[in-house]
Amino acid sequence: MKLITTRRNFLKGVAATSGAAALVGCSKSDNNDNWGNIEVDDPTMPNTMEGEELYRGIAAHNCGGRCVLTAHVKGGVVKRFTTDERPDLNMVDGYVRPSMQRRACVRCRSKKEWLYRTDRLLYPLKQTRERGDITGFERITWKQAFNEIADKLVAIKTRDAGRTITTPRGPITTTGCEGFYFHYSTGDGAAFPRARPLSAKLLQVLGGDYAYRDDYSYPCHYFAGRFNVGESSHSVNSMTDLVNSELIVLWSWNGSENIQNTNSSWIVTQARDIGVPVVSVEQWLSKAAYTLSTGYKDETLNVNVPPVVSPVSGTDAALAAAMMYHLVDTYATSATAPFVTFIKNYVHGFFDDPTATDLDTNDHSVPDGASYSAYLFGSENTLVTRGINGAPSVYPNKIGYNVRTYTIDGEPDPLLNKYSPIYGQTPKTPEWAERITGVPAQVIKDLAEAVYRKKTTILCGGGFQRNTEGEQGIMSVGLLGFITENFGIRGASVGWNGNGVSGGASTPSDPGTKGPFVALRTTTASNIQAMKNFDTSKLTNTAMISATLPRSQGLAMGNDKTFPCFMWQDAIELGGTGQSRWNSPEIANGPQIKVLLNFGGNCVINQQGHVNLSAEICKDKSYCELIVSTDYFMNASCLYSDYVLPAAMAFEKNFVSNQDEAVLYSPKAVQPPAEVLSDFDITMGIAEAMGYDDQMFVITASGTAKSYYNDEEIIKAQYDAGFNETNFGMTFEDFKKAGIITPGQGAGVKIKYAAFRSNPATAPLNTPSGKFEAYSRAAIENYEARGYNNNDLTIDLVGGEIVTKTDGTGSANAAKGRYVYPIPMYIPLIEGRHACDNDDSVPALNASNASEAINNNTANGATKHPDPMGTNAAGYTMRLHTWHMMYRSHSTLASNGLLTEHYKVNSNGEITFTKSDRTASFMAGNEIYDEDIFEPVFLHPTDAAAVNLPENGALVYLYNDRGAIKVYARSNPLVHPGEIMIGQGSWTQFEAETTVIEGKTYRVDRGGNANSVNNIRPSRICQGMSLANDCKVGIKLV
């Protein structure tokens, strides 16, 4: 190992100093044997903390963490921050019940710079020209802002509310204004008051709004959770239970960097240091992967798993399938083998089950050859011969795309009449998966054996579900955990660690899972679109969506909220027209968004894919008539807003938040600068201008309803009503001072699905069958109930059928292909790669058929990637992978100089930082181009060599049909060959002049926002966000 220091010639050149200086130097203080008596009056030296008032609050980002941050205030100014300096009682020091400091990460340690940056928004601004024109913003008064926004809201409501819209399903009449939309946003990490719900409240007092479902983070987790396990997502035991595991698998989990809940990386580290082996399944060598992974070698089991198993991005479902194929082949030796019996007890539809009924005695059959294990074995007869399944796989070799058949702007959907392979007739052997994933077959077998034979926790991150086939990976990995008996006991679980059990509280005084602030987080007011477009006649089990059944929460998707937030542009452009860019009936039959409140977020332009298209849709004021943003800086979303309102940051306002077992209070420590107001006061200002402020926050105590107008009073009222001294052991005033309440060492460990594991009959899950569902009829019926036609009549099933309520046994369509199947499967990304793409011995596919080349006797049935979007022919040969980088979350710290100096570079590749004297007008105006600062991207050394990248890197263009970005490319051995890594969240800054790259004309985004080239096609089943890893680009040196 080479230690990095700047080596200087030791003691060479001790400079002679002037006599005068030496004299001064001896003036005082050099007594005490030259040891000390330090003068501490230097203004740049910290000396003492004397005179500093400490405010303990929250590092409130929407990164997954809600850590502790303490402001040191002197003279009304935050002088510096510290984090949590309460006692740090850790597992690694022997505390079985730890009470860990909730240390903030580097992002929140930079917040002084954030508070006092010169480019903060300081005054309300109004766009007076076209949206997107930085020169059109004019300073206005708050009074004008409130009145104009209120007038527009009321006018649009008066015009549109109660009107009748004719949809293909019939006329819809609303009482509220269905064009009102509050946008998904994550810039404010508070629980209450939080920017996004505040904007919702504003619309709801006006009678209702058009509410979205899901988010940009974990849509496919939610989908898989609802239909496979009957709750909001797969989730692991308390993180502190990791020390009870015999193996930890980090699957697409980079909690060291994205901070997936406070301390999550630290807890994995402790488990490792206590002796639990760790293996990462990760598409690159992420911080978590390279730091925490030990690998797993076990001579008794005869397995040797390397520290990092790295499948090609987007092939996780193939890897998991091959692991399960190996286990089934090895251990499902007969219909009565313990492996089979266990699975049948707990997992519905892993094996064929043609006579099954659900808990409500409805038909819940898994036809012969339609189970997941049948898919695993393809045309192989093994499981039929063993008496386990009724038939080999009914699944065909290819799948189509449920896309629009009409053109938009004269263009058809590029996936129309295209297919990708799903290898329905191919055995999913480790050798097959090796061709696709690049993971050696022996490693696949060894990892499978280890996961099955050792108590394993599989921690799942979010990255592998952020693509157009994102549902498949998480469904497959969840299934892997269930069939390997990794649930319901200590040390063994599978799923996400962000679902409210990660902190480990289960004591009676557990403040995290009950209490007033949980209620404050949700907005309960009306969603005027609820149920209107949901066709319950498609469902076999309608009891499962009844609001009165606790089990209904599992299948609520699609009826409580009306459209997936990822499709909001579609709802602006085509809502209610009977058409949808992504062929979504929910959009085509839903309202058109006319008002967009974007409080505390940057998803209008920056954090949404296909930036150019988003900007084009937002620009036309005849579609969305009002866009209002609250923010701290003039980012790209503000640029396309009609009103930009300057919002207060943490420590300039009061709020509460809660995470896991902790409840936190964040106090107002300093005054916000200039005319900046909190989102709460901004919202109340608009409400007051409408004359509705008395209806915003009405709290009933002791039978008396009272209107509240002050955020801290609301927090106190909720505290006093729900918790108070009895539960928390402290008054509200003490809570404010403490800033945090936890059970300390009283926190226990939650074991997920423990009762179900003990007795599946008496403690069923909230799924129709009461079990984990490898085969979910409810999922495909839900797809149909949301209006989608699931029948692909161009494809025949193979010797069997798949049954739904609409397509019953023996019906013509039951034997036909589907766009969405009831089981997880491997479906290639639309802009993906296979490891074998350069292997001439593996057949290539034609995406207009995509099954002709599949031959189980050639290359183990594997094929090259189908490339249905034709990216290779267009010259977009590299995959761009967007990851949650250390220094931003999500885009809100993009200009912070204390952070940018750690990753941004100038055009020579040298360390640089965002200028400290920027002003707000610089942010999106032409002046920004003066700054020589670029976003870095990283390529594997072999790819860097292939594009002739100089040793120190170079400025490059990354481009495709959607746009082009100018970034600084560097070689980096941590990157998977064939990939380019880019951090999410850099701010879009388009160059004024156009540039021609490979014959195409672009306005290049020199801010280096990955979303300028990422696509916005939603995921196949739940229409989830697909920004992170479904994008191919060309690369060209500038």
Find the binding residues for other proteins in span 879-908 (CB under 8 A).
886-887, 897-902
Of positions 344, 977, 995, 1038, contacts other proteins by CB under 8 A: 977
**Please, what is the minimum distance in Å from the beta carbon of residue 930 to other proteins?**
15
**Least gap, CB of 858 to other proteins (angstroms):** 28
* Cβ neighbours for 635, distance < 8 A, ≥ 6 positions apart: 602, 605, 606, 891, 894, 923, 924, 987
Taking CB under 8 A as the rule, does residue 440 contact other proteins?
no
35 versus 810: smaller Cβ distance to other proteins: 35
Residues 6+ apart with CB under 8 A from 783: 790, 819, 820, 1021
Between 6 and 726, whose beta carbon lies closer to other proteins? 6
Q: Is 272 within 8 Å of 247 (Cβ atoms)?
A: no
Strands 419-421 and 456-460: unpaired
Q: What is the DSSP letter of 562?
A: -
Number of Cβ within a 10 Å radius of residue 726: 6
In this structure, are residues 775 and 475 in contact, taking their beta carbons and an 8 Å threshold?
A: no
Contact at 8 Å (CB) between 576 and 178?
no
Pick the binder of other proteins from 2, 96, 355, 726 (CB under 8 A).
Answer: 2
Selected range binding other proteins among 43-51, 479-487, 550-558, 733-741, rule: CB under 8 A: 43-51
- Minimum CB separation of residue 411 from other proteins in Å reads 39
Instruction: Tell me whether residue 266 or residue 968 sits nearer to other proteins (CB atom).
Output: 266
Query: Which of 147, 291, 379, 856 forms a contact with other proteins (CB under 8 A)?
Result: 291
Check binding of 959 to other proteins (CB under 8 A). Answer: no
Nearest to 211 by CA among 533, 519, 528, 521: 528
- The least CB distance from residue 443 to other proteins, in Å, is 11
For the CB of residue 876, give the shortest distance to other proteins in the complex, in Å: 22
Burial of 462 from C-beta contacts in 10 A (0-12 / 13-18 / 19+): buried
- How near is the Cβ of 194 to other proteins at its closest, in Å? 24
Residues of this chain, 68-97, that bind other proteins according to CB under 8 A: 79-83, 85, 88, 90, 92
Determine phi and psi for 843, rounding to 5 degrees.
Answer: -65, 145
Instruction: Specify the stretch interacting with other proteins by CB under 8 A; choose among 40-48, 172-180, 473-481, 548-556.
Output: 40-48
Q: Pattern 128-147, binding to other proteins, x per CB under 8 A? A: --------------------
Is 13 one of the binding residues for other proteins (CB under 8 A)?
A: yes
Q: Is 48 in the site for other proteins (CB under 8 A)?
A: yes
Exactly one of 29, 173, 381, 794 binds other proteins (CB under 8 A); that residue is 29
Total of residues contacting other proteins (CB under 8 A): 94
Out of 97, 152, 287, 805, the residue judged to bind other proteins by CB under 8 A: 287
Residue with tokens 């969405």: 820
Within 499-558, which residues bind other proteins (CB under 8 A)? none
Binding of other proteins by 1 (CB under 8 A): yes
Q: Closest approach of Cβ 276 to other proteins, in Å?
A: 14
Candidate ranges 23-31, 207-215, 507-515, 929-937; the one touching other proteins (CB under 8 A): 23-31
Site for other proteins in 843-872 (CB under 8 A): none
Nearest to 830 by CA among 1015, 568, 613: 1015
**Minimum distance of other proteins from residue 168's CB (angstroms):** 50
**Cα(104)–Cα(70) distance, integer angstroms:** 10
Please list every residue from 305 through 364 that binds other proteins, using CB under 8 A.
Answer: 306-310
Among 33-41, 227-235, 391-399, 799-807, the segment contacting other proteins (CB under 8 A): 33-41
Is 3 among the residues that bind other proteins (CB under 8 A)? Answer: yes
Q: How many CB atoms lie within 10 A of CB 1?
A: 3
- Tell which residue, 518, 656, 626, has the closest CA to residue 183: 626
Selected from 974, 997, 1000, 1038, the binder of other proteins by CB under 8 A is: 974
For residue 545, what are the contacts with CB-CB under 8 A and spacing of at least 6? 536, 539, 552, 555, 556, 559
Strands across the sheet with 662-666, in order? 655-659, 662-666, 740-741
Beta bridge partners of 89: 99
Q: Which of these ranges, 508-516, 771-779, 918-926, 967-975, lies near other proteins under the rule CB under 8 A?
A: 967-975
Residue from 767, 309, 233 nearest 496 by CA: 233
By CB under 8 A, tell whether 39 contacts other proteins.
yes
Backbone conformation region of residue 436, classed left if phi is above 0, alpha if psi is from -120 to 50, else beta:
alpha
874 burial via Cβ count (<10 Å: 0-12, 13-18, 19+): middle
**Interacting residues with other proteins between 675 and 704 (CB under 8 A):** none
Classify residue 404 as left (phi > 0), alpha (psi -120 to 50) or beta.
beta
Kindly state the smallest distance separating residue 323's Cβ from other proteins, in Å.
Answer: 18
Q: Are residues 707 and 674 in contact, defined by beta-carbon separation less than 8 angstroms?
A: no
Q: Using the minimum distance from each CB to other proteins, give the nearer residue, 607 or 900.
A: 900
Q: Which is nearer to other proteins, 268 or 624 (CB)?
A: 268
Question: Which stretch, 15-23, 325-333, 722-730, 744-752, contacts other proteins (CB under 8 A)?
Answer: 15-23
Q: Closer to other proteins at the Cβ: 154 or 974? A: 974
Site membership for other proteins, residue 741 (CB under 8 A): no
Alpha helices in 10-60 (DSSP H): 19-25
Residue 169 neighbours by CB distance under 10 Å: 12
CA–CA distance, 210 with 691 (Å, rounded to integer): 22
705 binds other proteins (CB under 8 A): no
Stretch that binds other proteins, among 9-17, 552-560, 624-632, 845-853 (CB under 8 A): 9-17
Supply angle C-alpha 467, 470, 473, rounded to 5: 130
Report how far residue 490's alpha carbon sits from residue 753's, in angstroms, rounded to the nearest whole number.
11
* Interacting residue with other proteins among 98, 113, 567, 728 (CB under 8 A): 113
Spatial separation of the C-alpha atoms in residues 584 and 987, rounded to whole Å: 30
Site mask for other proteins (CB under 8 A), range 242-281, x = bound: --------------xx-----x-xx--x---x--------
Between 282 and 586, name the residue whose CB sits nearer to other proteins: 282
Quick check: helix, strand or coil at residue 210?
A: coil
Q: Does residue number 808 form part of the binding site for other proteins (CB under 8 A)?
A: no
Q: Which is nearer to other proteins, 7 or 733 (CB)?
A: 7
- 243 in helix, strand or coil? helix
Closest CB to other proteins among residues 801, 979: 979
Least distance CB 444 / other proteins (angstroms): 14
Is 962 near other proteins (CB under 8 A)? no
Q: Does 916 bind other proteins (CB under 8 A)?
A: yes
**Residue located via tokens 């990092």:** 308
Q: Over the Cα atoms of the chain, what is R_g? A: 29
Minimum distance from residue 736 beta carbon to other proteins (Å): 23
| Residue 802: its H or E element | none
> 49 or 812, CB closer to other proteins?
49
Instruction: Evaluate whether 464 touches 312 at the Cβ level (below 8 Å).
Output: no
Please tell me whether residue 106 binds other proteins under the rule CB under 8 A: yes
CB of 288 to other proteins, least distance (A): 8
426, 397 Cβ separation under 8 angstroms: yes
Kindly tell me which of 290 and 709 has the beta carbon lying closer to other proteins: 290
Task: Rank residues 267 and 489 by Cβ distance to other proteins and give the closer one.
Answer: 267
| CB closer to other proteins, 71 vs 150 | 71
